[in-house]
Amino acid sequence: MYRIIDGKAISAAVKEAVKTEVAQLKEKGITTGLAVIIVGEDPASKVYVSNKKKACEALGMISREYALPENTTEDELISLIEKLNSDKEINGILCQLPLPKHINEKKVIDSIIPEKDVDAFHPQNVGKIMIGDYDFVPCTPAGIMEMLKYENIDVSGKRCVVIGRSNIVGKPMAMLLLHKNGTVTVCHSKTENLKEICREADILVAAVGRANFVTADMVKEGAVVIDVGMNRVDGKLCGDVDFDSVKDKTSAITPVPGGVGPMTIAMLMKNTLTAAKKQNNI
């Protein structure tokens, strides 16, 4: 019988722990602050930014939102980031992606100092994840590792398959599983014999961005299935895993919505707290 991995409950526990530490820092005269920058009018981005702001306020953090018009230049955006880099009240800086096409995302990411890069996209932080000596991890993979820990799912010695090789989820996810002694295979659009490889997984992470891509014939009996997908089909939110056909083959599975999604913002809050502690030598 499978069990549902409840991202809402786990994220609430993470946030509560962060809230306690934020309050303890405040007692020492140390505030915790996050700046979120959004450029343009992308509706999904606006929702994400609003949710991040609410989470900050609920946990007692300073939240600053910078909503810039679509025609903001790359230089103007980088100039704002440079000001925030030296702003003592701000511990974490997040620039909501995607950016308008005339702005070079790599240049923007590189302009955030690594100590305030709470998304962990800066090349220096990416390199630290590679060698296993990191302060921050991209929020979605970090949230997945937190879920596995919370559910007492041991990664060590397990066959782990990650479908997707993005810099935001797939690659860092593979490294984190590797650091926990998993035997990791990363699959992608050019992978041959994908179904056979997936069927060997004790832990299967689907981060491919295609609705209901993972079907029951791709899942090993008793596997743990983590669904990172956020897709809309006929207006309804669904994941990369065909939940109804897959669930009975698993020992544990994340739903969409209510699985990995809530963990992402919780881990952003945790990264911001980590940044505040590091910057104050705590």
Residues 180-222: pLDDT tens digits? 999 999 999 999 999 999 999 999 999 999 999 999 999 999 9
pLDDT at 141: 98
Query: Does the pLDDT value for residue 43 go beyond 90?
Result: no
Q: How confident is the model at residue 94 (pLDDT cuts 50, 70, 90)?
A: very high
Chain segment 110-160, per-residue pLDDT in tens: 999 999 999 999 999 999 999 999 999 999 999 999 999 999 999 999 999
As its CATH architecture, domain 30-115 has 3-Layer(aba) Sandwich (3.40)
> Can you list the alpha helix ranges (DSSP code H) found in the chain?
7-27, 43-58, 74-85, 105-111, 123-131, 139-150, 170-179, 194-198, 243-246, 260-279
Q: What is the pLDDT at residue 281?
A: 95
Domain 139-261 architecture: 3-Layer(aba) Sandwich (3.40)
Determine the pLDDT at residue 104. 98
Domain with CATH 3.40.50.10860 in the chain: 30-115
Q: Mean pLDDT over residues 22-46, rounded?
A: 94
- C-beta atoms surrounding 46 within 10 Å: 14
Tell whether the model's pLDDT for residue 266 goes beyond 90.
Answer: yes
CB 243, CB 272: distance < 8 Å: no
pLDDT at 224: 98
- Residue 213 to residue 244: CA distance in whole angstroms: 12
Q: Where in the chain is the domain with CATH 3.40.50.720?
A: 139-261
Cα–Cα distance, 275 to 282 (Å, whole number): 10
What's this model's pTM, rounded to 2 decimal places? 0.95
Gap between the Cα atoms of 231 and 196, Å rounded: 25
Active site (catalytic) residues: 52, 96, 119
Q: Which residues pair with 238 in a beta bridge?
A: 231
User: Closest by alpha carbon to 176, among 139, 132, 136, 208?
Assistant: 132
pLDDT score of 44: 81
The whole-number pLDDT of residue 24 equals 98
Rounded-to-integer distance, Cα 108 and Cα 81, Å: 8
- For residue 214, which phi and psi values (nearest 5 degrees)? -90, 120
232 and 238 Cβ atoms separated by less than 8 Å: yes
Report residue 102's pLDDT band, with 50, 70 and 90 as the boundaries: very high
